[in-house]
Structure 1
């Protein structure tokens, strides 16, 4: 009897505990449902706030989001294959054969597909880079055209520039020159009318957006911000030396005085070893420049202007001006082909030098490939140059150098012997030392199928 009573009591307790367990479980479920309602309410509230934030987003941020989403450009995939040779070159500033050659040279920038998404092909990367360099369009415009992100355009361009500087730098490697290279270039300038010349030197100011902390250093005498590209070229307008990055407040002479170009011509014996006897004076191989440079035995410049300037001096100035045309032509072609630097270079200051260097290297490489600049491009570039006139400077440094003056006088006398009785006015010479207008072509330049020589030296 007692056993039955115990079993009955145990069953009652079990039923009671089961009821309490179900009651607690029900309470927990009710709390869980209530919490879920609260979470859903908060999520709905956050979504509304997010929508309101998007609506009041500033215009520049909305524009960036829009350009990021609209990546359906089919310019490269659909339009470019249908282009003829002329339209292709107009867009990418090179012909198709040269484009393929460049792709071969910079294949290091090719990427491998990942598990997440396919990478941008090599040819499209080169196309994006050349289009960005050859046009004045913003990265946002290039991104929309090619169907990529705006930041991707900048990354691709910098990768391309790095590859060009590493793989095509041999296009500018003239220093130290060997006797055969010296003779080839000297003969080329002599055909243009000036003896013993190894290169025409000049500086070109390229407009930039300067660093805020040092903007005053980049303001040139014309009032705009720039970096200086100091370059020397041969008779074919191919660069033999480049120095990039000096702030615009400097002048060409300052940059040259601190350059490796001056140090080499000042100390190398090979230029004296290739001297030539002219009118009784031993004339070494030298450079030529305008009135911004100091006169020395390795740098010939015009005679200073005077009201009573003699015919001999006028004639010398005229001949020197004619033979300086290749460097002016080189700068003009550089800016005409690569509008990125022909107009304001709107990139981060740290990227300015490598972009300019890349354009200079490609300028030489494309000349080797006989890929010439369209006349229409040069006309457009001249209009841009007129809009931003180049700073000018004049110095009389070196005019008292006896040896340098003797060399200049001997060359001037040799011109008179060649010209006979031709007057300075008939030659077109004037006291200012300029006998041709800026931008004209030079006749008699050597063929562009020869090897380009040079050296690059940048002040970063």
Structure 2
């Protein structure tokens, strides 16, 4: 009899706690985001509702089942929380209050979201390597339309602010007085990330990161790079990437001639053409950090989670470009206002045996092309203005 009473008592307790959870009151997602228009939705989640729905379909593994103790947060709300956290510089406590969840829940959902985004989307949106004949041909065609031949992509690094542990902080401290990691990225003509390497400490410069990367090995070992070469006179010009002056000149990496008041008209023209096309990587970083303000203003997650947050945002950046979901002008204005200027660095490392010959060959080609155009219609490229050789103004950097 006593056992029966005890069993019934325990059953009552269990039933009363079967759906227990801490009550948080907020109707932002359940009401405001559903009844307000598309402009409200995009401003808060940095993408259209259509892109959001497609993303949720891809992230079905984030869906959780209800338990005997609580009802789980629906998939759509979990994705919304993560996107809001990435697109906002608000504190996690404020985001938690807005969505009616706990602060720890916001942090947990964001990391789960970033891990799942990277796991399911990186194979699709970072498939440029190993290089293929089709991929090289498409890259060359896109940059050729911009006025520069034989270019696969533009490379640069940007600094992303982090908050490392005290014992690790010295490696990430930059001369501007804050802590950062570097995101080295190769970008195509449509501002999409083709290759990323993130997480290197600030003390590693862009060129040294490239020298140790899998990208460098791919450029050296890919037979198609040489096979798809193009000739100007007797100069063989292989497919290559373009960079600013911080990188080492080689047969696979073209950078501007060092700025000098006595530069020839041909050198100025080469610098102008290269720098004009290289802007795609600066613009890609600008759009990336404008859309995901948590990255633009600094990541406050644990350093061990910083890489996956940065990498997942790169995958989302590519996804949204393919969805034709643009960055809004006011986001870019906000990013420029909040931006920290990145540490800059230059070097004059050259592989003159190959890189200098190719660069000179391209310079001669641009000169011949400009002369032919001037002969046809009396016009030519403007070369009197100083060469554009600006480093990334507010770019952060993260790794693989």
- Residues 432 and 186 (structure 1 numbering): CA distance in 2 closer, same or farther, change over 3 Å? closer
Work out which of the two has the higher radius of gyration on C-alpha atoms and give 1 or 2.
Answer: 1
1:392 aligns with 2:348: no
Q: 2:362 aligns with which of 411, 417, 430?
A: 411
- Does the alignment pair 1:84 with 2:40? no
> 1:278 & 1:70 partners in 2: Cα distance?
71
Equivalent of 2:352 in 401, 410, 429:
401
Structure 1: distance between partners of 2:289 and 2:253: 26
* Residue 100 (structure 2) aligns with: 147
Residue 430 and residue 423 in structure 1: after superposition, are their counterparts in 2 closer, same or farther (change >3 A)? farther
Partner of 1:65: none
Asked whether the 8 Å contact 1:335–1:341 carries over to 2, the reply is yes
Stretch deviating more after TM superposition (298-307 or 200-209):
298-307
Q: CA deviation at 1:159?
A: 1.0
Please name the residue that 1:355 is paired with. 309
Tell me by how many angstroms 1:426 deviates.
3.3
Provide the rounded CA distance (Å) in 1 between the counterparts of 2:393 and 2:24.
44
Structure 2 spans left out of the alignment, 5+ residues: 1-20
Inter-CA distance 343–424: structure 2 relative to 1 (3 Å threshold): farther
Q: How far apart, CA to CA, are the structure 1 residues paired with 2:222 and 2:93?
A: 49
CA distance in 2, matches of 1:70, 1:428: 67
Q: Which residue in 2 is equivalent to 1:304?
A: 258
The count of residues paired between Structure 1 and Structure 2 equals 371
For 2:26 and 2:384, the matched residues in 1 are separated by 54
Match of 1:57 in 2: none
In 2, Cα distance between the equivalents of 1:396 and 1:310? 19
Distance 1:78 1:248, change over 3 A: same
Deviation at residue 425 of structure 1 after TM alignment:
9.2
Of 158, 174, 177, 1:223 maps to 177
Q: State TM-score, norm by structure 1.
A: 0.77
Q: Runs of 5+ in structure 1 lacking a partner?
A: 1-67, 440-456
The secondary structure found in structure 1 opposite 2:153 is: strand
- Alpha-carbon distance, 1:429 to partner: 3.6
The secondary structure found in structure 2 opposite 1:229 is strand
Alpha carbons 2:146, 2:277 under 8 Å: kept: yes
Q: Secondary structure at the residue paired with 1:246?
A: strand
TM-score (norm 2): 0.89
Change in 2 beyond 3 A, CA 1:428/1:192: farther
Q: Which residue of 2 aligns with 1:294?
A: 248
CA contact (8 A) 1:311 1:424 kept: no
Deviates more, 1:164-173 or 1:69-78: 69-78
- 2-structure distance, mates of 1:191, 1:432: 19
Give yes or no for contact 1:318–1:428 (8 Å, CA) kept in 2.
Answer: no
- Once the two structures are TM-superposed, the CA of residue 87 in structure 1 deviates from its matched residue by 0.9
**Are residues 164 and 210 of structure 1, via their aligned partners in 2, closer, same or farther at CA, if it must alter by over 3 Å?**
same
Name the CA shift for 1:164/1:274 in 2 (closer, same or farther; >3 Å).
Answer: same
Instruction: Give the match for residue 213 of structure 2.
Output: 259
1:317 paired residue number: 271
Shift of 1:402: 2.4
Counterpart CA distance in 2 for 1:279 and 1:107 is 56
Out of 169, 175, 180, which is 2:134 matched to? 180
In 2, distance between residues paired with 1:384 and 1:248? 20
Match of 1:74 in 2: 27
Equivalent-residue separation in structure 2 for 1:73 and 1:114 (angstroms): 22
